[in-house]
Amino acid sequence: MPKPHRTLPSRLALVGAAALSLTPACAFESVATANRVPVPVLVGPVEQIGGSAVADRSDGPEFDIKVDRTVTASSSSQTSGNVTVTTTSASSLVTGAGVVDAKVRLAANGAKDRLVHVDRVRVNSYSGFFYSAAWITSRVRLRGHVGRGVTMPSAAVTPDATATPDAAAPANPVVNPL
Amino acid sequence: MKTLILTALAAIALSSGCAGGRSNLRFDDTRYPVSLSPTVLGSDGMVLVPARREIVGKLEIETKVYGLLWAAVPLTPNKNLSDQVNDQIERAGGQAVVNLRVTSRQCGLNSAWVLSTVPLWPGCSRVFVQGEIIRERPAELVPAPQAEPTTDAQASLAHPMAVPAGFRSAP
């Protein structure tokens, strides 16, 4: 098997090919939201309308969520005699926006009546290359914890929600005379 | 020998590069509740249902964060957006922000592949923060339901994300 033979112009061509293959990816973005979580997921110190900043001292379960969008490309070349074969590969990794919903619910252990506090929102985007490989990545990272319990409106609207299973049975059951 | 080492280091430096930006977004001084989810706590301390709130505006913030030394050193380690959030809420006459979306996107400086080999070439990240500015609607202004619900499932639909009581009752 002939060893690959690369000159400086071919190396520059490889880097250029990798870079060009990533050009459409420069508009890639990473988005974080929690639009399916039924409780407040707060990023500031104020918890309720008309309220003031609250120093949250709850120590509930913590979460660390990374919403990523990454594209990588690499190129390699092999020459055998008068034939040069260049192979360029690209891969994409996308973390769906639903990961925030899923991980917040996991941290709250399925509880639907607890506040969620986001303590840190970190954003980054960078692109780079090394020899004949290139990458572009964008990330939004959320770190926080589950807070205190809150009152959900469905508990007040539905009187049956507060009834116990025993109370559902009639007080004086009708006895079949037969 | 020294020339060979320097040449090798220069070759390595010229064959690699990186540019970008990163930062921590801060909302520490916001005077209103800001939520990534569709809900906040109302003035009564209960979770605010969609029927009890109205959208009065849109929160739109666009900013950039920069980095040096191949994105290793952030020029703005912390970006405080509290003032912009407070200003937009007050201009819209709102009381809170819901459905907050944080977006991180590439910027043009990161695309200068050859220049990114230079450690002092800056990179950046474009950041978009969007949301809905809402105002709480007083309970007496919420239209009453037109007909009495006939099943437990219909009674439980006051909160769009609540599980109807009929699914929880024991057989």
Domain ranges of chain B: 17-140
* Burial category of B25 from C-beta neighbours within 10 Å (exposed 0-12, middle 13-18, buried 19 and up): buried
Task: Please tell me if residue A143 touches chain B, with a CB cutoff of 8 Å.
Answer: no
C-alpha dihedral sign at A12, A15, A21, A22: negative
Q: Do B156 and A157 touch (CB under 8 A)?
A: yes
pLDDT of residue B8: 73
Task: Please tell me if residue B67 touches chain A, with a CB cutoff of 8 Å.
Answer: yes
Please state, in angstroms and rounded to a whole number, the distance separating the CA atoms of residues A51 and B39.
Answer: 15
Beta-bridged to residue A7, according to DSSP, are none
Percentage of chain B modeled with pLDDT above 70:
73
Q: What residues have CB less than 8 Å from B22, skipping those under 6 apart? A: A122, A123, A124, A125, A126, B65, B67, B71, B74, B125
Instruction: Quote the tokens at residue A123.
Output: 């954003």
* Maximum Cα interatomic distance, chain B, rounded to a whole number of Å: 91
Residues of A within 8 A of B165 (CB-CB) are 158, 160-161
Share the mean pLDDT of chain B: 81
Question: Does any domain span residue A2?
Answer: no
pLDDT of residue B34: 97
Q: Give me the count of residues in chain A.
A: 178
Residues of A within 8 A of B116 (CB-CB) are 127-129
Q: What residues have CB less than 8 Å from B112, skipping those under 6 apart? A: B19, B121
Task: Please tell me if residue B94 touches chain A, with a CB cutoff of 8 Å.
Answer: no
Range of the structural domain that residue A65 is part of: 8-151
Please state, in angstroms and rounded to a whole number, the distance separating the CA atoms of residues A154 and B158.
Answer: 7
The predicted-structure confidence for A8-46, as pLDDT tens digits, reads as follows: 555 555 555 555 555 554 567 899 999 888 899 999 999
Task: Confirm if A163 and B168 have CB atoms less than 8 A apart.
Answer: no
Share the mean pLDDT of chain A: 75
Q: Rounded mean pLDDT of A130-153?
A: 88
Spell out a b/e string for A26-50, using b for 16 or more CB atoms within 10 Å of the CB, else e.
bebbbbbbbbebbbbbbbbbbbbbe
Q: Name the residue among A33, A112, A138 with its Cβ closest to that of B104.
A: A138
Distances (CA, A) of A95 to A73, B29, B36: 18, 30, 17
Question: Does any domain span residue A19?
Answer: yes
Task: Write the single-letter amino acid at A115.
Answer: L
Range of weakest confidence among A78-87, A118-127, B94-103, B104-113: B104-113
Question: Does any domain span residue A24?
Answer: yes
Q: Which is more confidently placed, A168 or A102?
A: A102
Question: Does any domain span residue A81?
Answer: yes
Q: How confident is the model at residue A140 (pLDDT cuts 50, 70, 90)?
A: very high
Cα angle B13, B19, B21 (rounded to 5 degrees) comes to 145
Identify the closest residue of chain B to A32 by CA–CA distance. B102
Q: What residues have CB less than 8 Å from B15, skipping those under 6 apart? A: A11, A15, A130, A131
Instruction: Quote the tokens at residue A154.
Output: 């469905």
Task: Please tell me if residue A165 touches chain B, with a CB cutoff of 8 Å.
Answer: yes
Task: Confirm if B30 and A37 have CB atoms less than 8 A apart.
Answer: no
C-alpha dihedral sign at B110, B113, B115, B118: positive
How close, in Å, is residue B65 to chain A by CA atoms? 8
Question: Does any domain span residue A79?
Answer: yes
Task: Confirm if B61 and B116 have CB atoms less than 8 A apart.
Answer: no
The predicted-structure confidence for B68-117, as pLDDT tens digits, reads as follows: 877 778 888 999 999 999 999 999 999 999 999 999 998 877 777 776 66
Total domain count, chain A = 1
Q: What residues have CB less than 8 Å from B90, skipping those under 6 apart? A: none
pLDDT of residue B32: 96
The predicted-structure confidence for B1-58, as pLDDT tens digits, reads as follows: 888 877 777 766 666 777 788 999 999 999 999 999 999 999 999 999 888 999 999 9
Q: Do A128 and B116 touch (CB under 8 A)?
A: yes
C-alpha dihedral sign at A48, A49, A50, A53: positive
Q: How confident is the model at residue B161 (pLDDT cuts 50, 70, 90)?
A: low
In CATH terms, the fold of domain B17-140 is Translation Initiation Factor IF3 (3.30.110)
Please state, in angstroms and rounded to a whole number, the distance separating the CA atoms of residues A18 and A128.
Answer: 11
Res A93 pLDDT > 90: no
Going by C-alpha positions, the residue among A138, A119, A34, A121 that lies closest to residue B79 is: A121
Task: Confirm if A29 and B110 have CB atoms less than 8 A apart.
Answer: no
Question: Does any domain span residue A164?
Answer: no
Task: Please tell me if residue B122 touches chain A, with a CB cutoff of 8 Å.
Answer: no
